[in-house]
Chain A
C-alpha cells in the first residue's frame, strides 16, 4: 500500500516540480519551497522540509503504527495534520530528518493519548455525595477481562482504604457469578448476586442499596460481555446505566484488538458515555495501538493497563511509555 502511496506522492512532488519550472517562483512558493528559498536556508544551516523529504519518513512511521495496531483512519488523520505542520518548516541542517519527524509525531501521539492520574479517581470518590456510594460500571465486549479487572480495581481501592462492594451483573455467561464471588472471597469484598439469568440492573440496584446500608464507598458493577453490534444487549446495558446512574463508566478493552477498537469504543461510548478506559493483556506483547484508536475516537483518558494475572498487575497509564511502544522504541530517539 505504501509503495503505491510513495509512488503517488513522488509523482505528486514531481508534478509540482514540473509546474515550478514553468511558473514563476512566487506562484509556487505557496505549494513548495522554491530553490532560492532552499538555497538561502542552506546558507543559514537550515533545511526547508517539503513533501518529498517527508514522504519516506512518514511511510515508515505509518507502517510501524499499523504494525502496532493503530487503526488506519486514525493514523491517516494524525499523519495528515502533522504533515501540514511540517511542510515548509525550517529545521537545522545538522538534525537528522527521521529523528526530527519522529519527535514531532511522538509529541502528537502523546497529545492524543489522554491519561488520568489514579489519584483523580480516588479524589472523586472521596468528594462524592456522602448519601450515595460512588458507582462504577465496567463495560466491554466478550473476553476482554472485565471480571478480573474489577477485582484488580477493587484491590486498588482497598489499598487506598476505600471500601467497595461488587455487583455480579453478568448474569448471562456461565460461571461468571462464581468467578466474581471467588475474587470477592480472595479479597475479602462482598459480592451481591442473584440467580443466573436474573435482571442485571436489579442486581446492581441491590448492590447500591447494600452499599448505602453498610456505608460502603464504592459499588463496582460487572456486566456481561457484549458485541457492540448486538442491539438488544446494548439496550440492556443502557438499562443498567439508567437504573444505577453510575458516576464512572469504565470501558475494558483488550490491547490485542485491531481495527475493531474504533467501532467498539464508538458504539459503547454512544450507548453509555465512557469516562475512562482500562486496557488489558498488555503483558501479551501487545503494542497497544488500540489505545491510540480509542483515545482518538472517544477522547477520554486511559486509566490503567492490565499487565498480568495477579491482583496487583494493574498499573497507571503513561503516555510517554505508550508513545515509545507504538512507534517501536528502536525507532525513536529520545
Chain B
C-alpha cells in the first residue's frame, strides 16, 4: 500500500494508546507528539502539523466521552476524524458528462502530468468513454512526441502542433476540430509559481478551453513547498482536483496532503506505479483507515449505533477473562455464518488489527467443517464442553467413534478453541466496548 511509512509510524503511535494501561493526559500528549513526528517526516507542512496536533490534543483532553466508547477508542476516533478532515472528508469522483467534458492537467515540471494523462485516458476508456488528447506543452522538448506515443499506445485521437509555440492557439484550433461531445484531456507544460509568463499562459489556456476540470498533479516526493505551489496554481485558475503521483516510491505524500489542506481542493486520483493501469480513485476515509490500520472504524461505529440502546447486560466478561468454552466457540462459528466473517468485524475494531494477529485458517472454516464440528460437539459430554482440557486420548477416541469423525478433526477443533481462547484473553474487558457490543451482536451473548 502507498504511504506505508507514514502509516506504520501513525500505527505505532496508536498502538501506544491500545497498549497503555491508562489513557491519561501524559499519554495523549506523548501520542500527539508521535503523530507530529510521523506527519513531519512525511513532509506535511510544519505549520499544518502544529495546527492539526493541537486540535487532536485539545479534543482528546477536553471532549466529553461519547456513550458506548472507551477513552481509548475515543482518542483513536479523534485522530481518525481529524486526519480524515485533513485530507478532505468526502471522496470526490469526477462526474463526467457524456455531452462533452474538458479536463486540463497542470503542475510543476516533472510532477508527472503527461504520464497521468495517459493513465486518466485509460481510466475513462475502461469506463466506456472515448478520450481525445491535446498537447499544449510547447516548451519542453519531446513533450509532443511523448503524448503522441502514449496516445498511439492507447489508440486515442491526438491533437497538437509541433511547429507552433502558441499553446493557447493550439488548444483553440484543436478544440475546433474535436466534436463537442468528446472527453478532451489537455496536457500543459510544467511550470512553477515563480515563472510568471507560464502562469499567465496557463490562465489564458483555462479561459479559452472552458474547462470542466482543472487537475493539478503533485509529486508525492515534494516537501514543504507543496502548499505554496498548489496555492499559486489554485489562485491563478481555481483547480478542481489533485492527482497525486509517484506514490509507488517510498514517498510520504505529506506534501500533497498539505496542498489539499491549504487549498481545500480534494485529491481525486493517485498514481501508484509505472504502468498505465496503476492509477486509482482516491477516497479519503478508506485511505486514512488503511493508513491507520483500522479497517473501517466508520462502519463499525455505525453498526454499534444500530444496536438497540438497551442491551441486557450479558456476561462477556467470561470470554474476555479467557473463560471460554467449546460451547462458546461453537456459537461463534454459527454467528460467523449468520453475521458475516469474523475477520471483517474484528478489522473494524479500532486498533484490533494492531494488537492481535490471528492465523488465516482461523477465519477460513468451510460449512462442511462447521457441520463436522457440530457433530463432534454433540458427541461430547457436558463436562467436556465446559472444561475441554479434560479431553484426553481415550475421550477423543470415544468422541470420534460417536460422531463418526477422525481424531484429526477433533484435534483441529481443539486447536481452534485454543486460538480463540487466547484471542479473547488478549482483549481485557472494558478496553473495547465497541468490540464487546459487536461480539454480543454476533450471538455470543446467548452463552452466559
Interface centre among B33, B139, B195, by most A CB within 10 Å? B33
CB-defined contacts of A67 to chain B, threshold 8 Å: 46, 224
CB-defined contacts of B49 to chain A, threshold 8 Å: 1
Do A254 and B36 have beta carbons less than 8 Å apart?
no
Do A285 and B193 have beta carbons less than 8 Å apart?
yes
A56 contacts partner chain B, Cβ-Cβ < 8 Å: no
Say how far A66's CB is from chain B's closest CB, in angstroms.
5
- Chain B residue, CB-CB nearest to A146: B110
Say how far B108's CB is from chain A's closest CB, in angstroms.
7
B285 contacts partner chain A, Cβ-Cβ < 8 Å: no
User: A20-28, A199-207, A227-235: which one contacts chain B?
Assistant: A227-235
- Residue in A175, A230, A258, A263 whose beta carbon sits within 8 Å of that of B149 in the complex: A175
Do A284 and B192 have beta carbons less than 8 Å apart?
yes
Contact string, A84-105, partner B, CB cutoff 8 A, digits 1/0?
Answer: 0000000000000000000000
A141 contacts partner chain B, Cβ-Cβ < 8 Å: yes
Do A141 and B146 have beta carbons less than 8 Å apart?
no
Do A256 and B149 have beta carbons less than 8 Å apart?
no
CB-defined contacts of A173 to chain B, threshold 8 Å: 146
CA–CA, A281 and B190, complex, Å: 11
Do B146 and A254 have beta carbons less than 8 Å apart?
no
Say how far B313's CB is from chain A's closest CB, in angstroms.
41
B214 contacts partner chain A, Cβ-Cβ < 8 Å: no
- Residue in B37, B53, B146, B223 whose beta carbon sits within 8 Å of that of A175 in the complex: B146
A: number of interface residues (CB 8 Å): 55
CA–CA, A102 and B237, complex, Å: 40
Do B194 and A283 have beta carbons less than 8 Å apart?
yes
- Residue in B153, B195, B221 whose beta carbon sits within 8 Å of that of A260 in the complex: B221
Q: Which of B231-289 contact A (CB under 8 A)?
A: 246, 248-252, 254-255, 274
CB-defined contacts of B248 to chain A, threshold 8 Å: 227, 229-230
User: A120-128, A156-164, A177-185, A240-248: which one contacts chain B?
Assistant: A177-185
- Chain A residue, CB-CB nearest to B194: A285
B: number of interface residues (CB 8 Å): 57
Contact string, B41-54, partner A, CB cutoff 8 A, digits 1/0?
Answer: 11100100110010
CA–CA, A4 and B35, complex, Å: 12
Interface centre among B50, B143, B149, by most A CB within 10 Å? B149
- Residue in A1, A141, A176 whose beta carbon sits within 8 Å of that of B33 in the complex: A1
CB-defined contacts of A34 to chain B, threshold 8 Å: none
Do A259 and B41 have beta carbons less than 8 Å apart?
yes
Contact string, B20-50, partner A, CB cutoff 8 A, digits 1/0?
Answer: 0000000001001100110011110010011
CA–CA, A145 and B254, complex, Å: 22
A193 contacts partner chain B, Cβ-Cβ < 8 Å: no
Q: Which of B328-377 contact A (CB under 8 A)?
A: none
CA–CA, A331 and B249, complex, Å: 34
Q: Which of B200-222 contact A (CB under 8 A)?
A: 219-222
Do A179 and B53 have beta carbons less than 8 Å apart?
no
Contact string, A255-281, partner B, CB cutoff 8 A, digits 1/0?
Answer: 011111101100000000000000011
A72 contacts partner chain B, Cβ-Cβ < 8 Å: yes
- Chain A residue, CB-CB nearest to B6: A259
B78 contacts partner chain A, Cβ-Cβ < 8 Å: no
Do B224 and A284 have beta carbons less than 8 Å apart?
no
CA–CA, A284 and B198, complex, Å: 12
Do B110 and A183 have beta carbons less than 8 Å apart?
no
Do B229 and A284 have beta carbons less than 8 Å apart?
yes
Say how far A143's CB is from chain B's closest CB, in angstroms.
3
Given contacts A141-B249, A180-B142, A281-B108, contact A1 B50 (CB under 8 A): yes
CB-defined contacts of A177 to chain B, threshold 8 Å: 142
B112 contacts partner chain A, Cβ-Cβ < 8 Å: yes
CB-defined contacts of B255 to chain A, threshold 8 Å: 258
Do B246 and A142 have beta carbons less than 8 Å apart?
yes
A289 contacts partner chain B, Cβ-Cβ < 8 Å: yes
Do B274 and A230 have beta carbons less than 8 Å apart?
yes
Contact string, A141-175, partner B, CB cutoff 8 A, digits 1/0?
Answer: 11111011000000000000000000000000111
- Chain B residue, CB-CB nearest to A293: B223
Do A179 and B108 have beta carbons less than 8 Å apart?
no
CB-defined contacts of B33 to chain A, threshold 8 Å: 1, 4-5
A51 contacts partner chain B, Cβ-Cβ < 8 Å: no
B171 contacts partner chain A, Cβ-Cβ < 8 Å: no
CA–CA, A260 and B248, complex, Å: 12
Say how far A172's CB is from chain B's closest CB, in angstroms.
8
CA–CA, A71 and B153, complex, Å: 40
Do A1 and B53 have beta carbons less than 8 Å apart?
yes
Do B46 and A63 have beta carbons less than 8 Å apart?
yes
Chain B residues close to A by CB (< 8 Å): 29, 32-33, 36-37, 40-43, 46, 49-50, 53, 108-112, 114-115, 118, 139-150, 153, 192-195, 219-226, 228-229, 246, 248-252, 254-255, 274
The 6 A-B pairs at the shortest CB distance, nearest first, are namely A179-B142, A258-B223, A175-B146, A143-B110, A258-B43, A69-B223
Knowing that A71-B41, A148-B140, A230-B274 touch, tell me 15 more A-B residue pairs with CB under 8 angstroms: A5-B33, A69-B223, A142-B110, A174-B149, A175-B143, A175-B144, A175-B148, A177-B142, A179-B142, A256-B108, A260-B43, A261-B221, A281-B110, A284-B109, A289-B224
Chain A residues close to B by CB (< 8 Å): 1, 3-5, 63, 66-69, 71-73, 141-145, 147-148, 173-183, 186, 196, 227-230, 254, 256-261, 263-264, 280-281, 283-287, 289-290, 309
Q: Can you spell out 21 A-B residue pairs with CB atoms less than 8 angstroms apart?
A: A5-B33, A73-B41, A143-B246, A174-B145, A174-B153, A175-B147, A176-B142, A180-B142, A228-B249, A256-B223, A256-B225, A258-B254, A259-B43, A260-B252, A280-B110, A281-B110, A281-B192, A285-B194, A285-B228, A287-B224, A290-B223
